[in-house]
Structure 1
């Protein structure tokens, strides 16, 4: 923690007090949450930054879409439009946001929409879906979800964090009590079982909650606008890694450990690339980027030698079947009323 953040600690106390009062008012029913007939699965976190929400949404879609009509609702962060929009493959990231466009591109048969007001969005979608997945909505307490999935990254656990602006928490740690499912994300591939047990013992878990651990799996094939290539194609070719996500460190670590040679152009999360930055990227001979960044770059860089490597969430400790069963039972319990 740097000195500036430490000096801002009084503001962190104030912010924690304000968000704590808001949560108290919702918990006591003074502020009202709306409950819907359609089951709603909320994926979120207590902290700002990358906790793996998008890969988790895609993981949920992958095992739910065969048995349910799925709709995904996001606010469409940093989009240039307003109101409710149902995403199509003809939209661009500026119109609907990079993550919603990524969901629609990967799952064209799934309904994807953006709306800052989640209640308005749900009202548009509830007749079209058997299940609605809410992306990054744990603090959106105007909506009562059938099940909340709270994500916290392995290297930045919420119970070791502080309130903004000293730390990265959006609300006090005790807010974790609202979730039914906690997932420790981005666990290293070689993590020791003893380390996971240590986290399990330290994690504040209540009787109504389940705890799971997940990691990131990198695809063996990378994709571009016109072609796909094995990731190994880059093994003996220096390239530029371009990232505009909250936490690119797992990808950087993976590529380094696999012996790839690259330079890293790092930008802020959801970065809106300037014309000058796009012009500079066009001069790069070979680019690898993330799938989310590719949604923003593909129509501006217009470069054939630009690829992204897909990632997927993997539930660890042979708990995938139990995790999926827990989510499905929570959905069916709500549907059957």
Structure 2
């Protein structure tokens, strides 16, 4: 089993630059702490999900968990920056909105949940104002901020910090030597800390070690989640396939453009001993040359074989031309969802629902609260 911190690589020769970067970040945080820079609160429930490292902590599946928890009772809006999108300013996603207009992660959520609002805006204050005041979206009950932990101009009601088990912040360093966006003391702003991507077989002693290592304040709550893989979905054509139904001699080309593909490689090893990773950078836009490389690699692999990718990468592949039909039929996306460990799910759910109920303006939950008071 891999251990915590095992995917961390520190570029020691860049430490002087990290020191300078840290000075700038600490000054900025200090200016917010003393009120020189202002954080704005809102009269609508706002839940932020983010991290203090660059990419790969599982933000999207955790936001999707919150959507699944709340969307039957509430009108949800997800507000994201829309990283690497081709548009500018505020964009509200509609049925015909394309991936380049809003970015791969917002596009993925809009496709999976057609009964929520998904908007992108680099200026989160402006995005919140538009969602809460535009006629099309003003019936919104709760806003989920995707990747906004460093966006301190907005003060969320619940601030959720995600920490990758394989890249614990206690072992990492600031950019550019490591991958931390701010010093680890920035975790003090979190109401909830979730250690993500945990191995499924963590021992009680390991939980205790992690709790001590995270060194949280009494007002902060700590949870642990692991990844659960669901049925493989064809990206272009074909039928769904339970991952357990794959032949034991299957050869897998694992195609990823995400920040931390290592955990996926580890998790697929029990499925196949023959995994060929083809790895690109996070949010990579696939080119014709990339597709040619993938096809050549796939052609060289013996049968039986298939291509497995992530849901996020699948959204970009569907907007990529030049994929031969005989390759398309072998490309499958592997959906993931999170599972709380140590029986933490009910406690987490109750905390989120209780917060929304107490702070909602016009939701069903708010009505129930008022009825109870009367």
Instruction: Give the TM bin, normalised by the shorter chain.
Output: over 0.9
Bigger shift: residues 202-211 or 220-229: 220-229
Counterpart residue number, 2:13: 7
Q: Which has the larger radius of gyration?
A: 2
Task: Give CA-to-partner distance per residue, 1:90-147, whole Å, 9 cap, x none.
Answer: 3332221110011011111111111111111111112241100000000001111000
Task: Give CA-to-partner distance per residue, 1:59-105, whole Å, 9 cap, x none.
Answer: 01011112211110111111111111112343332221110011011
- 1:260 Cα deviation from its structure 2 partner: 5.1
- Taking the aligned partners of 1:48 and 1:72, their CA distance within structure 2 comes to 20
Q: Summarize the Cα distance change of 1:2–1:263 in structure 2 as closer, same or farther, 3 Å threshold.
A: closer
- 1:232 Cα deviation from its structure 2 partner: 3.9
The one of 330, 333, 344 aligned to 1:305 = 330
Pairwise mapping of residues 133-148 of structure 1 onto structure 2 (< 5 A)? 133-148=144-159
Structure 2 residues without counterparts, runs of 5 or longer = 1-7, 133-137, 300-305, 367-374
Note if contact 1:93-1:101 (Cα within 8 Å) is conserved in structure 2.
Answer: yes
- Taking the aligned partners of 1:320 and 1:140, their CA distance within structure 2 comes to 27
CA RMSD of aligned residues (A): 1.9
Aligned length: 336
Counterpart residue number, 1:229: 241
Q: Are 1:324 and 2:337 counterparts?
A: no
Q: Are 1:190 and 2:178 counterparts?
A: no
- Taking the aligned partners of 1:319 and 1:39, their CA distance within structure 2 comes to 22
Counterpart residue number, 1:31: 37
Note if contact 1:79-1:97 (Cα within 8 Å) is conserved in structure 2.
Answer: yes
- 1:168 Cα deviation from its structure 2 partner: 1.3
Bigger shift: residues 82-91 or 225-234: 225-234
Note if contact 2:231-2:240 (Cα within 8 Å) is conserved in structure 1.
Answer: no
- Taking the aligned partners of 1:111 and 1:206, their CA distance within structure 2 comes to 34
Q: Summarize the Cα distance change of 1:93–1:281 in structure 2 as closer, same or farther, 3 Å threshold.
A: farther
- 1:281 Cα deviation from its structure 2 partner: 3.3
The one of 284, 287, 294 aligned to 2:314 = 294
Note if contact 1:43-1:135 (Cα within 8 Å) is conserved in structure 2.
Answer: yes
Q: Are 1:256 and 2:269 counterparts?
A: yes
- Taking the aligned partners of 1:315 and 1:131, their CA distance within structure 2 comes to 22
Secondary structure class of the residue paired with 2:319: helix
Note if contact 1:146-1:331 (Cα within 8 Å) is conserved in structure 2.
Answer: no
Note if contact 1:48-1:170 (Cα within 8 Å) is conserved in structure 2.
Answer: yes
Pairwise mapping of residues 70-109 of structure 1 onto structure 2 (< 5 A)? 70-109=76-115
Bigger shift: residues 309-318 or 120-129: 120-129
Counterpart residue number, 1:243: 256
- Taking the aligned partners of 2:289 and 2:221, their CA distance within structure 1 comes to 48
- Taking the aligned partners of 2:179 and 2:336, their CA distance within structure 1 comes to 25
Note if contact 1:71-1:128 (Cα within 8 Å) is conserved in structure 2.
Answer: no
- 1:282 Cα deviation from its structure 2 partner: 4.7
- Taking the aligned partners of 1:99 and 1:228, their CA distance within structure 2 comes to 22
Q: Please report the TM-score for the alignment, with normalisation by the length of structure 2.
A: 0.85
- Taking the aligned partners of 1:74 and 1:98, their CA distance within structure 2 comes to 11
